[in-house]
Amino acid sequence: MIKPHGSDELNPLFVYDTAENEKLQTEAESLKSILVSSATAANAVMLGGGYFNPLTGYMNKADALSVARDMKMTSGLFWPTPVLNLLHDAQGIKAGDRIALKDPNVDGNPVLAVMDVEAVETFTDDEMAMMTEEVYRPHKDEAHPGVEAFNAQGKVCLSGPIQVLNFSYFQSEFPDTFRTAVEIRNEIAERGWNKVVAFQTRNPMHLAHEELCHMAMDRLGADGLVIHMLLGKLKKGDIPAPVRDAAIRKMVELYFPENSAMVTGYGFDMLYAGPREAVLHATFRQNMGATHFIIGRDHAGVGDHYGAFDAQTIFDEKVPKGALQIEIFKADHTAYSKKLHKVVMMCEAPDHEKEDFILLSGTKVREMLANGEAPPKEFSRPEVAKILIDYYQGLNK
């Protein structure tokens, strides 16, 4: 199986030993505690599950600035985005303190992790602006949900190793879908897969997405596919995770051969950082055991902040050769061809005009679903459309 990024073995930061976990829970009751941001909590979940291997906790200022500028830590380790614990003020915390991190996303704010604080530092306005520009590449005059979330957390940076005690709400709310990198690696091994394709989604999968996965598997000679859903916070208007989950499971049940696809999810808040987030996605897909990762048009984008294929070209232009072992399957926009009577990559149909494809905007699809109208069968499987129609019509009641 493919090695994790940066180490021979996966090193998840979750405390699996029950006695040790309970001991830390008890200790946390007497520690100074802070309520962290949703982004910091999501970072803890990813560190706990082994997705952010080989990181041992939150980055310090020097590492975060180096990662933002050059996609590598001061040690030289390749890493695409800062992994931070940011606050508005230090709350009296100093280097050497041991603190409890409380979860903002669960009622009662239980302790999510215990942290040994190695440094308390403050980013300047210019440093925050540099990280924002390098990671998100925002348009100066337009709102960007990732930029807003990043800069809303504060400028005080707590760095140091953590021990993760639970997986926030993800394990309880998505027991059939949430999986750690450790669990996915184990299941890949149990299924006997060697060449494994990962597909990222924060949306339901329509026919074009389904066929893209089949194309990638066929062309790569893959043993299996891991459909890996983002289960964390999205932007307003995105379809909730339980609805996406039901729609994707129905598609896999009906249209994929047995033992060819796993439906899983991970606990993270969407960054909407386009190319940089695509590299982060590839990094933690390697950690979960995938050998190949599909990256299509405007991966992890928002609005028109990024070029259509910037999330692909960054791997050629900015990711050093050998920095990651996982390979990228570059996909063009896929659509149903009226001429060929099948879904194709649009770049592979040079004799087609726009009217030769069935193309529907997201707005148009949402309008159809809300009106109880299924999109054309060339766009969406009817069984998938039914689940989405039920959801949208429920919003109108």
| Residue 154, C-beta contacts closer than 8 angstroms, at least 6 positions apart | 37, 86, 87, 88, 89
Which of 21, 98, 203, 249 is the catalytic position?
A: 203
Domain 18-171 falls under CATH 3.10.400.10: yes
**C-alpha–C-alpha distance, residues 212 and 301, integer Å:** 19
Give the active site residue among 98, 137, 191, 202. 202
The reply to whether 203 belongs to the active site is: yes
pLDDT at residue 233 in the model: 73
183 CB contacts (<8 Å, ≥6 apart)?
none
pLDDT per residue as tens digits for the range 115-130: 999 999 999 999 999 9
Token pair in block for residue 105: 């996303």
User: What is the third-level CATH fold of 177-395?
Assistant: Rossmann fold (3.40.50)
Query: Measured on CA atoms in the order 281, 286, 287, 290, is the torsion positive or negative?
Result: positive
User: Do 58 and 304 contact (CB within 8 A), yes or no?
Assistant: no
Question: Is the separation of the CB atoms in 121 and 61 below 8 Å?
Answer: yes
pTM flag (> 0.85): yes
Phi first, then psi: give them for residue 310, nearest 5 degrees.
-60, -30
CA geometry: angle at 63 spanning 324 and 24, to 5°? 95
Give pLDDT < 50 ranges for the chain.
Answer: none
Q: Which residues of 10-49 are buried (b: 16+ CB within 10 A; e: fewer)?
A: bbbbbbeeeeebeebbeebeebebbebbbbbbbbbbbbbb
SS3 letters across 152-176: CCCCEEEEEEEEECCCCCHHHHCCC
Type and span of the H or E element at 263: strand 261-266
| Segment (H or E) for 199 | strand 196-201
Is 194 part of the annotated catalytic residue set? no
Domain range summary for the chain, segments of one domain joined by +: 18-171, 177-395
Q: How far apart (Å, rounded) are the C-alpha atoms in residues 189 and 187?
A: 5
Quick check: 58 and 83 in contact, CB under 8 A? yes
Distances (CA, A) of 42 to 37, 163, 248: 9, 14, 23
Classified as helix, coil or strand, 207 is helix
